[in-house]
Chain A
Amino acid sequence: MSTIVLGIESTAHTFGVGIAADDKILANVNEIYIPRYGGLLPREAARHHLVKATRAIKNGLVRSNVRLEDVDAIAVSLGPGLGPCLRVGAMIARFLAVYFDKPLVPVNHAVAHVEIAIMATGTKDPLFVYVSGGNTMIVAYSKGRYRVFGETLDMPLGNFLDSFAREIGLPQPGVPRVEELASKGERLVELPYVVKGQDMSFSGLLTAALRELKKGVRLEDLCLSVIEYSYAMLAEVTERALAHTRKKELVLAGGVARSRRLQDIMRMVAEEHGAAFYVVPDEYAGDNGAMIAWTGLLAYKHGVSISPKESFIRQRWRMDEVEIPWRA
């Protein structure tokens, strides 16, 4: 009999259910909350998750032909993320664990992104560039944990581009639309380029870009500049981390990994340092349930579990606090 883990993801806009068994993903069902206008409202997203949860779990079980009774453990991402959203996933997971008498496995959302990336790309010991709406970090495994070799000092790259898109009147998701406008840009507008050692800062770039917009700069040129400046900052920091850690594999993970321009840039960075380059496949790039199930499976097999009474959500749970026994 193989070990089966059901994972629940609900850190932000996605309510996801994944089912993993030994070496494969049996189901990956994701319900994504898209606001009608403006940004994500945590309370609204949480309500969306509550409404969609039952159907998502049922779909996952049907697709994988697994009954809840057959599941060995319930995994849940307890953070980092938005409180109201996290609470929905945690509540459902606790209920399932208690009602069906299954062990509950806590999973760190960021670690899960990295683990599914390793599984999907077949890499061994890569350097990760993890860019999404909620995170921008460069991480690699070293001595029992995923260590951070560079990160944003304020806004995540995805959040920065989404906010910029919203301010210039583009609907969400903003990144592909900003990139599309950027492809028609001709002239680079001068903006602040903020790299501090291995870290980046995007908030000043946003302020400056919006100021240029008010001055009447051509929108396409502004999009081009915003894309080129922010990606160049990320590329530079990645290059430093690659030179510093001397890893031979580079993996681009997280929601913004879908960007073709960013993929091209990172491929060039990898080539310059003799590293092989991988992109996480689309289905595992954004937040998803499968990554929680998969990481939960690895953790469960190494004896990680938590009592439902102690399974508090952790909105600011850093990935470098998490011990990774399955890589030791």
Chain B
Amino acid sequence: MESIKVNVLSKGAEAILLLKLWYGMLVVEKIRISKRYRNPHLDVMLRRARTILEARLLHEAKLLGIPVPALIDIDIRRNSLTMEYIPGKRLRDSLERFDKDFIECLFRNIGENVGILHSNGIVHGDLTTSNMILTETGNVYLIDFGLGGHTWDLEDMGTDIHLMLRALESTHTDIADLCFKAFINGYKKIMKDKTGEVLRKVKEIRSRGRYVAVEVRKSWRYY
């Protein structure tokens, strides 16, 4: 790989992202870093499995027309993926500054895209606003498929939705309702009648949490 300039773009919990120039094109190399706290054998196993899985899921999502970074290269020995650089901001940091209509529109769109993934047997595995990039043109790119998977299991789809809702409740408390309703509207457009089944599963997953009050919680009125 011909790389002229290398910058550390960010250091996440799991991987380090390098911004590189690749034959004149800006790319991101995601290297899964070794964790000192993990048993070395477990560490190697996890990093390799996730790198391969993420490459597959990115490629498949791209074929489905979901806005994800295009996969360029995979290097198994370095546990690294090289993908297209998406200029924009993390949705987590920019969300609160927009007006209600725009936020609704964004989340309807995100809901649709997640619906397309689910209806094709793919789950993201870590749907939070930290894993979404908002571009200048108003597109939301989904990134970080490292915890995703191939599945037709209602449980996994429900977990995706549950994670989205939980991320909204804990990080965007004031607009969580608005965002989640719009998300479900978009999701319904693709998943149709199946939406009800998935949402029932979400409810079940949440009630399984050890100490969920028996009374229906305020935030559960979507069901």
A, B from the same assembly: yes
Question: In the complex, A147 Cα to B171 Cα: how many Å?
Answer: 9
A244 and B212 in contact (CB under 8 A), knowing A195-B147, A265-B37?
no
Contact with A along B17-56 (1 / 0, CB 8 A): 0000000000000000001111101100110000000000
Question: Is chain B's binding surface mostly helix, strand, loop or mixed?
Answer: loop
A72 close to chain B: CB less than 8 A: no
B159 close to chain A: CB less than 8 A: yes
Nearest chain A CB to B177 CB, angstrom units:
15
B128 near A244: Cβ-Cβ < 8 Å: yes
Nearest chain A CB to B146 CB, angstrom units:
10
Closest to A193 in B: B46
A268 near B211: Cβ-Cβ < 8 Å: no
A142 near B170: Cβ-Cβ < 8 Å: yes
B125 near A198: Cβ-Cβ < 8 Å: no
A228 near B214: Cβ-Cβ < 8 Å: no
Question: In the complex, A190 Cα to B45 Cα: how many Å?
Answer: 10
B39 near A197: Cβ-Cβ < 8 Å: no
CB neighbours of A273 from chain B (8 A): 13
Closest to A191 in B: B42
Residue in A80, A148, A154, A236 whose beta carbon sits within 8 Å of that of B166 in the complex: A148
A268 near B37: Cβ-Cβ < 8 Å: yes
B13 near A232: Cβ-Cβ < 8 Å: no
Question: In the complex, A147 Cα to B125 Cα: how many Å?
Answer: 21
B173 close to chain A: CB less than 8 A: yes
Closest to B39 in A: A228
Q: Can you list 21 contacts pairing A with B, beta carbon distance less than 8 Å?
A: A80-B210, A80-B211, A142-B170, A143-B173, A147-B173, A151-B209, A151-B210, A156-B210, A188-B41, A196-B125, A197-B125, A197-B126, A198-B166, A198-B167, A199-B163, A231-B37, A232-B35, A232-B39, A235-B38, A236-B35, A314-B213
Q: How many residues of A contact B (CB 8 A)?
A: 48
A243 and B12 in contact (CB under 8 A), knowing A318-B212, A318-B213, A321-B213?
yes
A58 close to chain B: CB less than 8 A: no
CB neighbours of B75 from chain A (8 A): none
A235 and B37 in contact (CB under 8 A), knowing A143-B173, A196-B147, A229-B42?
yes
Nearest chain A CB to B99 CB, angstrom units:
21
Q: How many residues of B contact A (CB 8 A)?
A: 37
A153 close to chain B: CB less than 8 A: yes
Nearest chain A CB to B93 CB, angstrom units:
11
Question: In the complex, A229 Cα to B39 Cα: how many Å?
Answer: 8
List which A176-200 residues lie within 8 A (CB) of chain B.
188, 190, 193, 195-199
Residue picked from B163, B170, B173, B205, most chain A C-beta under 10 Å: B170
Question: In the complex, A271 Cα to B122 Cα: how many Å?
Answer: 35
Question: In the complex, A151 Cα to B208 Cα: how many Å?
Answer: 11
B119 close to chain A: CB less than 8 A: no
Nearest chain A CB to B143 CB, angstrom units:
14
Closest to A145 in B: B173
B209 near A149: Cβ-Cβ < 8 Å: no
Residue in B159, B163, B171, B213 whose beta carbon sits within 8 Å of that of A244 in the complex: B171
B185 close to chain A: CB less than 8 A: no
B205 near A228: Cβ-Cβ < 8 Å: no
Contact with A along B143-183 (1 / 0, CB 8 A): 00001000000000001000100110111011000000000
Given contacts A143-B173, A316-B210, 10 further A-B contacts (CB under 8 A): A142-B170, A142-B173, A153-B159, A153-B208, A190-B45, A196-B147, A231-B37, A268-B36, A269-B37, A317-B213
CB neighbours of B217 from chain A (8 A): 321
A317 near B211: Cβ-Cβ < 8 Å: yes
CB neighbours of B125 from chain A (8 A): 196-197
Closest to B43 in A: A232
Closest to A153 in B: B208
CB neighbours of B42 from chain A (8 A): 188, 193, 228-229, 232
A152 and B211 in contact (CB under 8 A), knowing A193-B46, A244-B171, A264-B37?
no
Question: In the complex, A228 Cα to B36 Cα: how many Å?
Answer: 12
B127 close to chain A: CB less than 8 A: yes
CB neighbours of A143 from chain B (8 A): 173-174
Residue in A153, A232, A236 whose beta carbon sits within 8 Å of that of B209 in the complex: A153
Closest to A150 in B: B166
Closest to B12 in A: A243
CB neighbours of A228 from chain B (8 A): 38-39, 42
B147 near A197: Cβ-Cβ < 8 Å: yes
CB neighbours of A134 from chain B (8 A): 210
Question: In the complex, A135 Cα to B159 Cα: how many Å?
Answer: 20
Question: In the complex, A232 Cα to B44 Cα: how many Å?
Answer: 13
CB neighbours of B41 from chain A (8 A): 188
Question: In the complex, A240 Cα to B126 Cα: how many Å?
Answer: 11
CB neighbours of A154 from chain B (8 A): 208
Nearest chain B CB to A187 CB, angstrom units:
8
CB neighbours of B38 from chain A (8 A): 228, 232, 235
